[in-house]
Amino acid sequence: MAKPLKFAKRTRSVFYSLSGLGLTLLLLIAYVYSSEHEAHSSDAPGCRGIGMYPSYARIKAFDKTHTRFASKYSLYLYREQGKDRIPNELNTENYLNGVPVLFIPGNAGTYKQGRSLAAEASYLYYDTYEPRKDDPSLNQNARNMDFFMTHFNEDFTAFHGRTLLDQATYVNDAIGFILSLYNTTENAPKSVIVVGHSMGGIVSRVIFSLPNYVEESVNTVITLASPHAASPLTFDGDLTKIYSATDKFWRYGYSNESAGPESESVRMVACQRLANVSLISVTGGILDTILPADYTSLANLVPPSNGFTVFTTGIPGVWSPIDHLAIVWCDQLRKKLVAAMMEIVDYRSPQRTYPLSTRMKVMRRHLMSGFEDYASQDYAAFSGNGTPEFAVKLRLDNSHISAASPGERVLRTPSSKLSARGTSPKMNLFHIPSDGSKFEFSMLSSIPIQDVNSLASGRGISVLLCRNGDSLALSNLPFLDFTKATTQKYVELECIDVSSDAHSVPRSLGDAVLLADSSIGGAFSPFNAFQFNSSIVSSYDVVVVAESPNQESWDASDFLIAELALEKSCHIDTGKGSLVSLMAYGADVSLPTGRPLAVNIEVPGAWSSLLAYSIEFRNLKPSENGEAALFEPTVRQWIPDTHETKWHIALRRNNTRPVSIHGVSPFVAFESKSNLNSLNLQLWSDAISDESPIDVYVSVDWWNSLRLLVLRFRLVIGAFPVGIVGMVLMFQFSEFNRNDSFPTFGEGLLKICESFVLVPTLLLLSVATPLCSIAAIQKLVCYFNVARWLDINEVAYTTHLSGYHLNTLFLGIQERPLFFLGPLCYIVSLGIVAALYHLILVVCAGFVCLWVAVYKTLSRFYPVENIGAAYGDTKPISHSPRRMIGTFLLLAAVPFYIPYQLAYIVCCVLQIVLTLRVAFNASQILVSKPEHGTYQNFLHYNISLLMLMLLVLPVNVPVLIVWLHNLSVRWSTPFTSHHNFMAIMPIVVMVEKHMTQSFMSKASARLPSVITQTVLAYMVFFAFTFGVRHAFWLHHLFNFFSGWMLVLLYTNNFNFSAVPEAKCNENQSKLH
């Protein structure tokens, strides 16, 4: 027997230290990930429960005559009891008289998940719209909604591309059938509104690219927590191909560039089908623990004119992150979504919706915070071509005017009003200087906002942007006269009423300490805010804030703060623009006394989604002169590119807040302009009562950053360990071909922990992050990606995305200062591999001990010879006809019935049995030394092979789950690519060959050794570089490796049939 390799004590210490560190980090990350968010943070859940009276009608007429999937899937119609017309209760078939809406569930989802939206639509229409048909504030062309729901029998669309394609095909068939149900209706609809949850949102995008798509049948798609930017799992090749093909189709649809002769027809079809489609992606943010919220981005897929991504933390009246399942039933969100859907309905139109521009305007107004530059295009104050469209004339009594110079504020509370008993509104004017200085207007109030025409009879306030009367030409605009017969002096202004531009802001005052307190259905009413930047303000001469004369109804806590401030005083940056400085030193800024009402602080270094941050606000002290603050300081956290907004209220109660952002993320395209992805903090404060300067300190929160690594890098655990095992196998085969001794897997782990291997490995993993972020390197490396060779639609590097960056290599990150994440993932993976190896050793040792104990017990009753022959025989299992037939049937079943993933699991089970048998035989010492040494080689080889097979096993499990699920619903449609005979044949034959205890001999020539090392080296390279986004190819690479092992086994092998029979001995040699 060959002697074990000798390693320095230091090497063993390094190995056990790194393995222990890796497992400790893994447990620590799991602990942080499972911990709850702080109750007062912006990441705490705040959804309210709901109630409904559901009923479902299965549409049995949608059978095999309309779709080939009728035996697997079904279609339901939702009816809210007591509101909707239920088919079974009617004598007529005319129960479909609304706007058709189709709900598509997600991975393992059910059709019943759509009931919350459907119920809210019924209540909104029948309780609000129908009784107020003549209310001009409501959409006069709205109708009730007929909610249809697809039932996919809880299919696993996230696991299997063929299933995703089947669902998309079925949805197109269902849409065509739904529209046919309205054929007898006057002005029958030609399109359906589609709502998709999770992978259902991806299905809703795939339908446009399929041949059975009904032209113009869908023009509005709303997706909830759907992974548009990247597939959440990469274990199935078909799924990644469908993703890349669908993305390419949508890019073609909004591209004006020629696609080349071979793709021009596809581009024309895409342009025709997608030109009028609006796509809204809603994500719940950090509470979504199933799917990274970054993946819901529509960047580089849909232009701003046709869609956007919005976070629920920024939706007015919601202001809360929502988990993956709650996003379909969260009360605040469903009310906002249904309200928006009701406003885009145009029952007069065959499309049943308003034109694209109107739909997008409605969606922006309902779902965006309103502070975004993207949302400002819908402001009534916005002058697109520089010429405002004034709508009303004002004549104001000078005695009711309060003028404020730039920098001054108008503060009005019930105790300080002079016009409380007046009959005319109080007018507060902000004159905008014409000297070229740039000013911004900000206002915050707890008082309701209303139209100026109803101000005299209401109790709110109005805001108008005006120009002076002396510059007016004669016009026929409506005239509002607030003067009296006794008025001696007055002012005439031509104005635009911008009250509709008010933004709802969470309340931060008194007992309202949680965001949910003032959300929809909360105990308190929210604040209202206005903010106009210099590009808007510069088009006018005066800002008018008009107060209602009926102020007796105001509460004692009601307030109004408005201000016109210099733009440069409203924007501050921390001055430290690099991520490195932020990580090392943090960033701080001091806001002086007399600061504007709203001050925006840009933190250029905070742009990574992989890091959590901590924001500390110091010196938040109330005024010492006894004047109470009108509201608690509030912070709006926002990022320009992703439209993410979060609110932090009641800062005095807790002046340190955890912050997480969705800026630049791994494997997600982002816009090249760096300032669009950095963190911004907009502080709203009452500086009159807050006399001391406020210091803001931003630092990296390393503890909470661990939480953010889980969803982004969970697939690393499936790829990196395969690369580590490949490195160990490279050393084992190298040593075997040199010394005819196959080292143990443990010795291989020690070898890669020696300094001359470990240090270069960690250095290479460290530089991989900055190197893979370079476009030229990406383009070069991607030529070595075998997965890309077979998928022409894949976008793998930056040069394919005009104006955007995308990194699909290694860890997919752009943050060069985070180079340490590569070594960190390697160490965690090393700990996982070491733990799995020692687990196998423990199982083998336990099996041997159990076997020997059984032998001792039986030896008391039976002859030793019989027991030894039964338990201690090292002779191979011969090529019996029974096993040959079993192997043949297993391989023959793959092309016709079972997926090759099932055959792979069978091979794993056989490999486990073989390893246990070999471990027992190798533990006997009655065999002569040379043969015993060779048998130890065989044991070490099988343990290493078992390690590799077990680590590749997770790649095959998801598809097997889909197959078993299809069996349960009696669906036997073949899996096409998963019946690839060649994808499993080498593995099956190799395992069968090993069952005969055949093992290769030392290579007599150099070429086989070189090929072995090359195959393993590419496996290592692929696992680390491409394995995260192409995990399914790890199986194919192992399959190729198995094929090469077969070549070696059949050309140069050693068979243990020559080894004499070994009988069980109580003294066992040590298992390595």
The predicted structure's pLDDT at residue 935: 78
Confidence of residue 764 (pLDDT cuts 50, 70, 90): very high
In a domain, 374, yes or no: no
Residue 214 CA to residue 216 CA, distance in Å, equals 6
In whole angstroms, how far apart are CA 751 and each of 11, 23, 934, 1014?
8, 20, 21, 19
pLDDT at 880 over 70: no
**Averaged pLDDT, 262-277:** 90
List b or e across 176-200, with b for residues whose CB sees 16 or more CB atoms inside 10 angstroms. bbbbebbeeeeeebbbbbbbbbbbb
Q: Provide the CB-side half-sphere exposure for 983 (13 A, CA).
A: 21
Are 553 and 588 in a shared domain? no
- DSSP letters, 534-571, are HHHHTT-SEEEEEEPS-GGGS-TT--EEEEEEEHHHHE
The predicted structure's pLDDT at residue 863: 60
Closest to 106 in 3D by CA, of 214, 169, 207, 200: 200
Mean pLDDT of the chain: 87
Closest to 271 in 3D by CA, of 290, 252, 285, 258: 252
Who has greater pLDDT, 623 or 620?
A: 620
The predicted structure's pLDDT at residue 1069: 42
Who has greater pLDDT, 540 or 423?
A: 540
Last residue within a domain, chosen from 708, 740, 765:
708
The predicted structure's pLDDT at residue 629: 77
In a domain, 2, yes or no: no
Q: Provide the CB-side half-sphere exposure for 442 (13 A, CA).
A: 24
Confidence of residue 474 (pLDDT cuts 50, 70, 90): very low
Q: Rounded to a whole number, what is the distance in angstroms from the first to the last CA of the chain?
A: 13
In a domain, 39, yes or no: no
Are 119 and 193 in a shared domain? yes
In whole angstroms, how far apart are CA 197 and each of 155, 201, 203?
13, 5, 10
Percent of the chain at pLDDT > 90 equals 59
- Write the pLDDT tens digit of every residue in 1019-1028: 999 999 999 9
Are 414 and 361 in a shared domain? no
For the chain, the domain total comes to 4
**Averaged pLDDT, 334-356:** 96
The predicted structure's pLDDT at residue 870: 45
Are 166 and 97 in a shared domain? yes
Are 13 and 78 in a shared domain? no
pLDDT at 754 over 60: yes
- Write the pLDDT tens digit of every residue in 16-67: 999 999 999 999 999 998 887 776 678 889 999 899 999 999 999 999 999 9
User: In CATH, what number is assigned to the domain containing residue 616?
Assistant: 2.60.120
- Return all residues near 1005 (Cβ < 8 A) that are at least 6 apart: none
Last residue within a domain, chosen from 568, 599, 626:
568
**Averaged pLDDT, 1018-1037:** 96
Are 776 and 683 in a shared domain? no
- Catalytic residue numbers read 198
**In contact, 333 and 667? CB cutoff 8 Å:** no
pLDDT at 1058 over 50: no
SS3 content of the chain, % helix, strand, coil (to 5): 45, 15, 40
In a domain, 1, yes or no: no
- Write the pLDDT tens digit of every residue in 137-189: 899 999 999 999 999 999 999 999 999 999 999 999 999 999 999 998 888 99
Last residue within a domain, chosen from 549, 568, 587:
568
> For residue 782, what are its two tokens?
């991607």
pLDDT at 1063 over 60: no
Least confident of 235-244, 250-259, 422-431, 883-892: 422-431
Confidence of residue 412 (pLDDT cuts 50, 70, 90): low
Task: Domain of residue 797: give its range.
Answer: 9-32+715-1058
| 571-573 and 542-547 beta bridge pairing | unpaired
The predicted structure's pLDDT at residue 227: 97
Residue 588 CA to residue 9 CA, distance in Å, equals 48
The predicted structure's pLDDT at residue 1057: 45
In a domain, 44, yes or no: no
Are 702 and 734 in a shared domain? no
- Write the pLDDT tens digit of every residue in 654-711: 889 999 999 999 999 888 766 678 899 999 998 777 767 899 999 999 999 999 999 9
Q: Classify residue 1006 by burial, with Cβ atoms within 10 Å: 0-12, 13-18, 19+.
A: exposed
Are 69 and 181 in a shared domain? yes
The predicted structure's pLDDT at residue 627: 62
Are 260 and 293 in a shared domain? yes
Are 785 and 672 in a shared domain? no
Point out which residues pair with 573 in neighbouring strands. 602
In a domain, 202, yes or no: yes
Residue 603 CA to residue 605 CA, distance in Å, equals 6
> For residue 91, what are its two tokens?
């004598």
User: In CATH, what number is assigned to the domain containing residue 316?
Assistant: 3.40.50.1820
pLDDT at 416 over 50: no
In whole angstroms, how far apart are CA 993 and each of 737, 878, 989, 1042, 1055?
21, 10, 6, 11, 10
The predicted structure's pLDDT at residue 88: 60
**In contact, 673 and 397? CB cutoff 8 Å:** no
> For residue 13, what are its two tokens?
């210490």
The predicted structure's pLDDT at residue 337: 98
In a domain, 373, yes or no: no
In a domain, 133, yes or no: yes
**Averaged pLDDT, 331-335:** 97
Are 23 and 64 in a shared domain? no
Rg over alpha carbons for the chain, rounded to the nearest Å, is 35
Report the SS3 class of residue 68: coil
Residue 524 CA to residue 512 CA, distance in Å, equals 7
pLDDT at 1053 over 80: no
Residue 973: Cβ within 10 Å count: 12
pLDDT at 1070 over 50: no
**Averaged pLDDT, 224-230:** 96
Are 347 and 396 in a shared domain? no
- Write the pLDDT tens digit of every residue in 623-642: 555 567 789 999 999 998 88
Who has greater pLDDT, 401 or 79?
A: 79
